[in-house]
């Protein structure tokens, strides 16, 4: 198979972690007999520096013409970077929002899995870490508060800001269908998260999700208010399989879920549209404070590449080989600095970004 990938290295540690993911992909394609080609484009802060805006038409077209997009990270230090002195629509993150909208990437999949080898890095009680957890947060990505109309203006003598939260029935239905389809391939459980005791948008969300579940009688559905879900994630994460939720709630909950795995540097993500096309990126940010120091954890980006093989190319064995290589590296005791927070950290082998990539490449094998 020929894989045509548009690559967006981005800002901060983005180019470093993308380089390691490409090394792993090259090894997988070599072993399994696939041909892979990359086209690198700019987006985010580096695009602002080069073109004066975070997302160009050329980048959008390059993404559309590819089979999938693999991205590093975008943005910088919000306190010191000149990018954040610009108007909001010209800042780095506006590029990502614009690309998601342009490509109709409405479904964001963020798995959160606690590797047994990383139990010591989990901040939860020991009995919770021993139980482990394996969940997937299905976040609606192109609607809701982040895409509604907004304004800041003076009203009755004081500055007033307005953000509009809008959801259409069709937007809710299509993300709910994705959630139930994914749940069928996992443990057949969906927990839909909303704020139906307060918000009209959440009451519509719950109504539509209930309608969709009629087509999936084999999948268990329950509802949970977002504040309770935030508590349950740290109280008993093992109860979750597929978590279905709207844009802003998903943004917050997925970051919380990532941290209880021990490090946000371990969490991949996929953003999909109605076809097999997707954008794949790590869940973490650009970490500008460690950029260029060869200490970033590339595993989230490598696992994002595995998700790309699985969801955009239907190459399950190839994806499995990457995931197994990650497990082997962790079993062998190798850790990047973000995974060395446990008291017995001295028993592990500290490695940098490039060495972690090399170790993963060494362990890629045909399954």
Catalytic machinery residues: 146, 195, 227, 251, 255
Spatial separation of the C-alpha atoms in residues 235 and 231, rounded to whole Å: 6
Spatial separation of the C-alpha atoms in residues 221 and 215, rounded to whole Å: 12
Question: Among 184, 172, 176, 111, which residue's Cα sits nearest to residue 143?
Answer: 172
Spatial separation of the C-alpha atoms in residues 256 and 356, rounded to whole Å: 25
Residues in Cβ contact with 258 at an 8 Å cutoff, skipping those fewer than 6 apart: 110, 112, 264, 266, 267, 283, 284
Other CB atoms closer than 10 Å to residue 317's CB: what's the count? 12
Spatial separation of the C-alpha atoms in residues 171 and 353, rounded to whole Å: 39
Are 167 and 121 a contacting pair, CB within 8 Å?
Answer: no
Q: State the first-to-last Cα distance of the chain, in angstroms, to the nearest integer.
A: 18
Spatial separation of the C-alpha atoms in residues 199 and 218, rounded to whole Å: 29
What is the H or E stretch that residue 229 is in?
helix 226-235
Calculate helix-pair angle for 353-363, 299-311, nearest 10 degrees: 40
What is the H or E stretch that residue 324 is in?
helix 316-331
């Amino acid at each position: 198979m020929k894989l045509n990938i548009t690559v967006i290295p981005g800002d901060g540690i983005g180019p470093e972690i993308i380089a390691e993911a490409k090394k792993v992909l090259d090894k997988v394609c070599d072993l399994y007999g696939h041909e892979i080609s990359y086209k690198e484009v700019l987006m985010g802060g580096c695009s602002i520096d080069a073109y004066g805006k975070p997302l160009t038409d050329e980048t959008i077209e390059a993404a559309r013409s590819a089979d999938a997009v693999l991205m590093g990270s975008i943005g910088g230090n919000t306190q010191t970077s000149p990018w954040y002195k610009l108007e909001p629509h010209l800042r780095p993150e506006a590029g990502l929002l614009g690309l998601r909208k342009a490509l109709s990437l409405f479904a964001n999949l963020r798995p959160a899995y606690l590797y047994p080898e990383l139990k010591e890095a989990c901040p939860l009680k020991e009995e919770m870490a021993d139980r482990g957890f394996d969940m997937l947060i299905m976040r609606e990505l192109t609607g809701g508060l982040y895409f509604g109309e907004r304004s800041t203006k003076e009203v009755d003598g004081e500055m007033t800001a307005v953000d509009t939260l809008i959801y259409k029935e069709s937007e809710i239905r299509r993300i709910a269908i994705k959630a139930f389809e994914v749940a069928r391939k996992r443990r057949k459980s969906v927990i839909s998260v909303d704020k139906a005791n307060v918000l009209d948008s959440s009451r519509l969300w719950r109504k539509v999700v209930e309608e969709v579940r009629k087509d999936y009688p084999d999948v268990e559905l329950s509802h949970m208010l977002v504040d309770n879900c935030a508590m349950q994630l740290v109280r008993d994460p093992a109860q979750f399989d597929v978590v279905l939720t709207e844009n802003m709630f998903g943004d917050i909950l997925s970051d919380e879920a990532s941290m209880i795995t021990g490090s946000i540097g371990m969490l991949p993500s996929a953003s999909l549209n109605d076809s097999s096309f997707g954008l794949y990126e790590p869940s973490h940010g650009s970490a500008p404070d460690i950029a260029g120091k060869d200490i970033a954890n590339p595993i989230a980006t490598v696992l994002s590449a595995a998700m790309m093989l699985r969801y955009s190319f239907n190459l399950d064995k190839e994806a499995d080989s990457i995931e197994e290589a990650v497990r082997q590296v962790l079993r062998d005791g190798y850790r990047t600095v973000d995974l060395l927070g446990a008291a017995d950290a001295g028993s592990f082998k500290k490695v940098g970004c490039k060495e972690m990539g090399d170790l993963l490449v060494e362990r890629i094998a045909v399954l």
